[in-house]
Amino acid sequence: MMTLVAFIVAIALLIAVHEYGHYRVAVACGVKVLRFSIGFGKPLLRWQSKKSGTEYVLALFPLGGFVKMLDEREGPVPPVERHQAFNTQSLGRRTAIVAAGPLANLLLAVLLYSVVNWTGVQLPAALLAPPVADSIASQAGLVGGERVLRAGLEGESDKEVQSFEDMRWQLTRGALEGQDVRLWVRGDTASTEREFLLKLSGLDSRDVDAQMFQKIGLIGPMSRPVLGDILPDSAAAQAGLLAGDEVTQVDGKPINDGQQLRLMIRQSVVNKVAATQLWSILREGRRLQINVTPSVVLEQGQPIGRIGAYVGAPPELVLVRYGAFDGSWQALVKTWDVSTLTLKMMGRMLIGQASVKNISGPLTIADYAGKSASLGLTQYLIFLALISVSLGVLNLLPLPVLDGGHLMYYLWEGVTGRPVSDAWMERLQQGGIAILMLMMSIAIFNDVSRLFG
Q: For every residue of 193-232, which 3-state class applies, written as one string? A: CEEEEECCCCCCCCCCCHHHHHHHCCCCECCCCEEEEECC
* Number of domain units in the chain: 3
- Output the domain CATH number for residue 159: 2.30.42.10
Q: What percentage of the chain exceeds 70 in pLDDT? A: 87
Closest by Cα among 147, 130, 127, 146 to 138: 130
pLDDT of residue 213: 82
Residue of 359, 82, 67, 83 whose CA lies nearest to 207: 359
Last residue of a domain, one of 267, 289, 311: 311
Q: In which domain, by residue range, is 195 found?
A: 121-221+316-320
Q: Are residues 192 and 148 in the same domain?
A: yes
Residue 413 annotated as catalytic: no
Q: How far is CA 128 from the centre of its chain?
A: 22
pLDDT at position 60 is 80
Q: What are phi and psi of 207, to 5 degrees?
A: -115, 120
pLDDT digits (tens, 9 = 90+) for 359-414: 655 555 555 566 566 667 888 888 899 889 988 988 898 888 888 888 988 898 88
Residue 18 lies in a domain: no
* Predicted TM-score (pTM) of this structure: 0.82
The catalytic position among 19, 177, 246, 299 is 19
The pLDDT tens digits of the residues spanning 113-125 come to 999 999 998 889 9
Q: Of 187-191, 210-214, 231-235, 412-416, where does mean pLDDT reach its minimum? A: 187-191
| 193-207, 218-232, 257-271, 366-380: the lowest-pLDDT one | 366-380
Look at residues 320, 347, 373 and tell me which one is the last residue of a structural domain.
Answer: 320
Residue type present at position 275: A
Q: Choose one of 320, 344, 370: the last residue of a domain.
A: 320
User: 206-223: b or e for each residue (b if 16 or more CB lie within 10 Å)?
Assistant: bebeeebbebbbbbbbbb
Question: How many whole angstroms separate alpha carbon 226 and alpha carbon 325?
Answer: 41
My answer on whether 340 and 436 are in the same domain is yes
Is residue 29 very low, low, confident or very high in pLDDT (cuts 50, 70, 90)? very high
- Which segments of 62-201 does DSSP mark as H helices, in order? 91-119, 136-140, 164-177
Q: From CA 215, how far away is CA 257, in angstroms rounded?
A: 18
SS3 54: coil
Residue 214, Ramachandran bin (φ over 0: left; ψ between -120 and 50: alpha; else beta): alpha
Within-domain flag for 75:
no
Is the pLDDT score of 432 beyond 90? no
